[in-house]
Chain A
Amino acid sequence: MSFLSELWEFLKERKKFWLLPIIVMMVLFGGLLVLSQGSAVAPFIYTIF
């Protein structure tokens, strides 16, 4: 829960509420990817980390 409240505070601070639906969609979609994968290990690509 503290994570969600911090995320909300972050969006408020950055005035980026428009990111919220995108975050929800991406998290859902990303969640599917997590579930469909065995490992979270990815090769080192500079900018995605």
Chain B
Amino acid sequence: MRILGLSAFYHDSAAALIEDGQVVAAAQEERFTRKKHDSNFPIHALEYCLDAAATGLDGVDYVAFYDKPFLKFERLLETYLAFAPRGFASFRMAMPVWLREKLFQKDLLGKKLTAMAPDFDCKSKLLFSEHHLSHAASAFFPSPFEEAVVLTMDGVGEWTTTSVAIGKGRDLKVVKEIHFPHSLGLLYSAITYYTGFRVNSGEYKVMGLAPYGEPKYTQALLDNVIDLKPDGSFRLDQSYFDYCTGLRMTSEKFNRLFGRPARQPDKDLLDQFHMDMAASVQKVTEEAMLRLTRSLAGEYGIPNLCLAGGVALNCVGNGHVLRDGAFKNLWIQPAAGDAGGALGAALAACHLHLHLDRPRPVTPGKDAMRGSYLGPAFAQDDIERRLTKAGARFQVLDEARVIDSVAGALADGKAVGWMQGRMEFGPRALGGRSILGDPRSPTMQKTLNLKVKYRESFRPFAPSVRREDVADWFELDADSPYMLLVDGVKESKRREMTAEEQALFGIDKLNVPRSEIPAVTHVDYSARIQTVHADTHPRYHALLSRFKDLTGCPVLVNTSFNVRGEPIVCTPEDAFHCFMGTELDVLAVGDCLLLKDEQDPSLKTDYKSAFELD
């Protein structure tokens, strides 16, 4: 039985295909269309998933969509009604979009699907799952647990913003929900807006900014803005927000409470206030996550926790939940955002709607996401053909020599583009489409930021480390294959900063070597860790092993293979264009090795202005 899951029309459209309950393929539409957070019908991702299963749409038994548009419309109408006559401006913006398109999503989906397969019967084969049930299903069914508490938190789905479900075997029941407008995700988005970043994509910047600040507004937030109960449930005082009725996230009252208006990114510089605000909302979020998980652990007595929803991408909060130990085991869906809803909808249809008489196989300690390497891969002859057509000059080496050459280049301080095997599903590059560097180099941070990524980030890069070496370099000793846990760099690897260095700010502070691996160490000595496992990505694991042989260090800088504002590369051509448009020194695509010095200089392009700033 094949079930196709789709998420679309809001942000991060994606498709996922499961076959007899097993995940076969999943990808985000943005990777194919090269338009970041593409929200259009995921036709390319869908076609890829069908290709991966060597079938057509007529070979698919059901299509499951990841949320319910009518329920969302109901929430919209009731919200406008509750606040009327305030909210007219928002109503005027929303209604045309809804009345022209969004209310008719079922028809639209039907048209798109029947255009691909005229015999596809939408009436019986097109299913809809609730938004948070999709998240919960994406977190539980691929997890390595037979039984788990499933916590989902995001901005808002239809009505739900936070849900608790209990998963057992192939059953999953939602037991508690917190409804709109009370939302941890929207609180975080409100501060994202207030500190001058883009809602729905700038949240990770707020998280990266937090270590520069003091959480001095935490109490003000808790006393006024969010009523956080001992069990982690919460209510937001809507007088501080404007998202129900206005076109802004925060209100004048919020501005008065903190003494200044929202930062305008094109006019106002980031200063200490914004960092303190970021640290404060981060602290509130962590506190809410900890209270929720502690109370759920006590209430249900189940040792396993699964997380999904946009808030589960807050890897600093996740690290606190893991270290807190209320739950013995933690598993987080790598595509925790709305893209993962496509997979969740398919899994929910399979296990909860169709009740197929088949057990859900669980391997303790091993999840069913295949390392999240669920996107397209390219055969060696196809890579060579595509690169040749693009005008690339390359050598074809055997696997051992590719690894040897790349490890040597990395040890020499070179920046390497690394495209190997299947593309990752989810927002993180995990060694399938990555830019790699030497984390020991005190200049690597700067080099990658200025010459490759074209940004001056206050966030450090993330480290990839062999699973067997993680405890030697970091305070974490658990699997973190999806880069969703933050923990400290090992004390013995740290270097104390002097008082003068402590007083530095932003990129200057970040450029002070704070450990043996400065390129991946944040100003609070934390790191967003990816553990690399030989069974899910043997080639990347072998590269880390070879780098360790050469340098004694089993850690590499791993950042996504793209420039600022660009979706992560998908095809060999994308990789080659990014390679030629940046100052990457080496590119390894499959068994092909490309050196920048050997390329035709006329193929260099002005790449950095090709994508809109995220």
Within 8 A of A (CB), among B95-135: 95-104, 106-107
User: Which residues of chain A in 1-49 are interfacial with respect to chain B, using CB atoms and an 8 Å cutoff?
Assistant: 2-3, 6-7, 10, 14, 16, 19, 22-23, 26-27, 29-31, 33-34, 37, 39-49
- Pick the contact of A42: B97, B103, B104, B181 (CB < 8 A): B97
What is the minimal beta-carbon distance from B97 to any residue of chain A, in angstroms? 5
Name the interface residues of B183-203: CB closer than 8 Å to any CB of A: 186, 189, 199-200
**Smallest CB-CB separation from B107: which chain A residue?**
A3
- Cα of A49 to Cα of B189 in the assembled complex, Å: 15
- Is there an interface contact between A7 and B70, defined as CB atoms closer than 8 Å? yes
Given contacts A37-B96, A45-B243, A47-B243, contact A19 B90 (CB under 8 A): no
Across the interface, do B99 and A47 meet the contact criterion of CB distance under 8 Å?
A: no
Report the minimal beta-carbon distance from B394 to chain A, rounded to whole angstroms. 41
Name B247's closest neighbour in chain A (CB-CB).
A45
**Closest-CB distance, A32 to chain B (whole angstroms):** 9
Docked pose: A30 CA to B249 CA in angstroms: 23
Residue in A14, A42, A46 whose CB lies within 8 Å of B199:
A46
Q: Which residues of B contact A29 (CB under 8 A)?
A: 95
Our pick among A10, A26, A37, A44 for the contact of B200 (Cβ within 8 Å) is A44
Which chain B residues lie closer than 8 Å to A31 at the CB level? Answer: 99
| Minimum Cβ distance to chain B for residue A14 (Å) | 7
Q: Tell me if A43 and B93 are in contact (CB < 8 A).
A: yes
**B234 shortest CB reach to chain A, Å:** 17
B611 contacts the other chain (Cβ, under 8 Å)?
Answer: no
Q: A30: which B residues are within 8 A, CB to CB?
A: 91, 95-96, 98-99
Evaluate contact between A33 and B156: CB separation under 8 angstroms. Answer: no
Asked if B76 CB lies within 8 Å of chain A CBs, one says yes
- Complex alpha-carbon distance, A28 and B255, angstroms: 36
A48 touches B99 (CB 8 A): no
B94 lies within 8 A of A46 (CB): no
B180 touches A47 (CB 8 A): yes
Do B96 and A48 touch across chains, with their CB atoms under 8 A apart?
no
Q: How far is the CB of A1 from chain B (nearest CB, A)?
A: 11
**CA A39 to CA B92, docked complex, whole Å:** 12
Say whether B70 contacts A10, CB under 8 Å.
yes
What's the Cα separation between A14 and B100 when bound, in Å? 24
Whether B77 is near chain A, meaning CB under 8 Å from some CB there, is: yes
| B186 and A48 contact, CB distance less than 8 A | no
B81 at the interface (CB under 8 A from A): yes
Contact of B74 among A19, A43, A45 (CB under 8 A): A19
Q: Contact at A49–B102, with CB atoms within 8 Å?
A: yes
Q: Report chain A residues within 8 Å CB of B247.
A: 43, 45
B126 → chain A closest CB, angstroms: 12
CB of B417 within 8 A of chain A?
no
> Chain A nearest CB: distance from B514 CB in Å?
36
Instruction: Determine if B155 is an interface residue (Cβ-Cβ < 8 Å).
Output: yes
Taking the closest CB of chain A, its distance from the CB of B555, in whole angstroms, is: 37
**Shortest distance between the CB of A44 and any CB in chain B (Å):** 7
Contact A22 B81 (CB under 8 A): yes
Q: How far is the CB of B177 from chain A (nearest CB, A)?
A: 15
Tell me whether A46 and B96 are in contact (CB under 8 A). no
Q: Are B101 and A40 in contact (CB under 8 A)?
A: yes
Chain B nearest Cβ from A22, distance in angstroms: 6
B90 interface neighbour in A3, A10, A33, A45, Cβ under 8 Å: A45
Knowing A3-B104, A46-B249, A47-B180, say if A40 contacts B94 (CB, 8 Å). no
Identity of the chain A residue whose Cβ is nearest the Cβ of B72 in the assembled complex? A49
Query: Closest chain A residue to B242 by CB distance?
Result: A45
A33 to chain B, nearest CB (A): 5
The residues of A with any CB-CB pair to B shorter than 8 Å are 2-3, 6-7, 10, 14, 16, 19, 22-23, 26-27, 29-31, 33-34, 37, 39-49
A–B pairs, 26, beta carbons within 8 Å: A3-B103, A3-B104, A14-B74, A16-B74, A19-B74, A22-B77, A26-B77, A26-B95, A27-B99, A30-B99, A33-B96, A37-B96, A39-B96, A40-B100, A41-B97, A42-B94, A42-B96, A43-B247, A44-B199, A45-B243, A46-B156, A47-B156, A47-B186, A48-B94, A49-B10, A49-B94
Known: A3-B104, A19-B78. 19 other contacts (CB 8 A): A3-B103, A6-B70, A7-B70, A10-B74, A16-B74, A19-B77, A23-B77, A27-B99, A30-B91, A31-B99, A34-B100, A37-B96, A40-B97, A40-B101, A44-B11, A44-B200, A46-B156, A48-B76, A48-B90
| 7 closest A-B pairs by CB | A30-B95, A48-B94, A42-B93, A40-B96, A40-B100, A10-B70, A34-B96
Where the two chains meet, the residues of B that have a C-beta atom closer than 8 Å to any C-beta of A are 10-11, 70-71, 74, 76-81, 90-104, 106-107, 155-156, 180-181, 186, 189, 199-200, 243-244, 247, 249
